[in-house]
Chain A
Amino acid sequence: MKRADKSAVRTHGSNGRPGKTRKSAAIELPSRFYGSPLPGVKPEELSGTLVVIEGTDGSGRSTQISLLTEWLESEGFAVQTMGLRRSYLVGEDIDGLLAENSVTRMTLALMYSTDFFDQLERRILPALRSGLIVLADRYIFTLIARAAVRGIGRDYLHGIYETALRPDLTFWLNVRPEVAFDREFKKSQTISYWESGRDMSLSNDLFQSFIRYQSMIKREFEYLSKRHGFIEMDGESSVSDLNRLLRKRIAAHLGIRSTHYRPSHALSHLWH
């Protein structure tokens, strides 16, 4: 939490933003926006907490989100999730565009931003107004990184997302591209067109293409991590170890004393 707070001061501090008064550590800080808030949104109404889990495919994000959801619910917190291509408005359209491979980079980037804001405005902000905990399976950072490695300007991308909500906590599950490759291959017996950046003509060899693409994404994340104060986690450690560390951080933020958790029977297969 400290790291995230420090970065908030570094990037947006001392510009006379109103409502920046700090409460005691146990009470969560009001959620804020990067720039001007979305039209019609009052930041002070958002009493919930936004926790973001970022990382490439194969970094273990979905597993951790399932476990964290169960843990938070067992502690009595209501949870809402979000992720890429899950909006009612354009989620399926993006699936269609990806399947066709004819879409250009700017169109895709803007379709993803439409997908993001549709979820943010219609699902996430109402959830945060009701005091829920939102667990985001990726956020604007993946969208920025993907577009940036395709040559779209970082400032342009940050400009589009300046009306997005700043997360209370952003975890980056960092894994080496080689490890991500092993995990993804084990899971689906192949490597997806987009996750290996094949639209970028990096290599005809799928493994090489994947490694190069993921290395480029990783470099963008290193930059984003500094700019936005990510909490970097070792995505290569065991599921249970990683989960314990995540719980500790989230518990400290929410003011939960006990972080004890054992997955239920339904999720025990994830625990190793």
Chain B
Amino acid sequence: MGIVTPETLTITETLSLKEPAPKRQYPGALVVVEGIDGSGKSTQLYLLKRWLEIGGYRIHFTEWNSSPLVKSATRRGKQRRLLTPTTFSLLHAADFADRCERQIMPLLHGGYLVLADRYIYTAFARDAARGCSPHWLRNLYSFAPTPDITFYFRAPLDVAVNRIVAGRPKLKYYEAGMDLGISLDRAESFRIFQERILTNYDQMIETDHFVLMDGTVRVNKLQKLMRQIVGERISLQQFAPKKK
């Protein structure tokens, strides 16, 4: 132990001592990654998933905005730019509800370790940046199970924005927050939108017991830390392959 100990680990340790694990009504566990675009969260969750897959653990990976049920509506709304902050938020909530009721909950009851790339905090940060009331959003998603660990990948705004802008020829309308009318320049709008989201995420670090991860740390180093924290907080043994 103690090969890699960035300052972030001390923060997570103090938080974990204060907060006893909430009572669960299911044998499974839920691990979530959150953060703005370009913070490195998806890469890290992918590596965590690979680690667990190779080890033969009972896991399931789920992503934000992936249910076929509401895909056509989301596409239609985005193409024709019909979405308001409220309908944007509700459509994503419906989409999440579908995944929650048909995948996440049954898997948690069935004793799986569920890995989620983005979770309800994405909606809290992003939809509040669009103007929805935080109180309304909290109620909207109150049916969602609380994660066992929420990793919050934080990278400085410039680092994250440059990663995205460099890798993409054109930012999409809603992705760039163009519906907010902040700026006519997409890159500029994206930057301001992401900044608002980042501020909203930061405000949830304490209230929602985020495990803060420094997105500027080298990929393999950060992954090592992530695996260590998962090992400490979740008894992986219960998801291990059963010996015959």
Contacts and interface: CB of A to CB of B under 8 A. Distances in A.
Interface stretch (A20-28, A45-53, A55-63, A158-166): A158-166
Nearest to A160: B140
Chain A contact surface mostly = helix
Interface in A67-117: 88-90, 93, 97, 103-107, 109-111, 113-114, 117
A50 B77 CA distance: 26
A38 B86 contact: yes
B94 A111 contact: yes
B214 to A, nearest CB: 34
B94 A117 contact: no
Interface in B135-189: 136, 139-140, 142-143
Contact of B136 (A36, A90, A93, A97): A36
Contacts, number: 87
B225 interface: no
A228 B85 CA distance: 27
Contacts of B93: 110
Nearest to B98: A107
Q: Which 7 residue pairs spanning A and B have beta carbons closest together?
A: A159-B139, A110-B94, A39-B131, A104-B101, A106-B97, A114-B90, A107-B98
Given A107-B97, A156-B143, 17 more contacts: A38-B84, A39-B85, A39-B132, A88-B82, A89-B73, A90-B70, A93-B69, A105-B101, A107-B98, A107-B101, A110-B93, A113-B94, A118-B84, A156-B139, A156-B142, A159-B139, A160-B140
21 contacts: A36-B133, A38-B84, A38-B86, A88-B82, A89-B76, A90-B70, A90-B91, A103-B98, A104-B98, A107-B70, A107-B101, A109-B97, A110-B94, A113-B90, A114-B90, A117-B90, A121-B87, A156-B139, A160-B139, A160-B140, A163-B136
Interface of B: 69-70, 72-73, 76-77, 82-87, 90-91, 93-94, 97-98, 100-102, 130-133, 136, 139-140, 142-143
Interface of A: 35-36, 38-40, 88-90, 93, 97, 103-107, 109-111, 113-114, 117-118, 121-122, 156, 159-160, 162-163
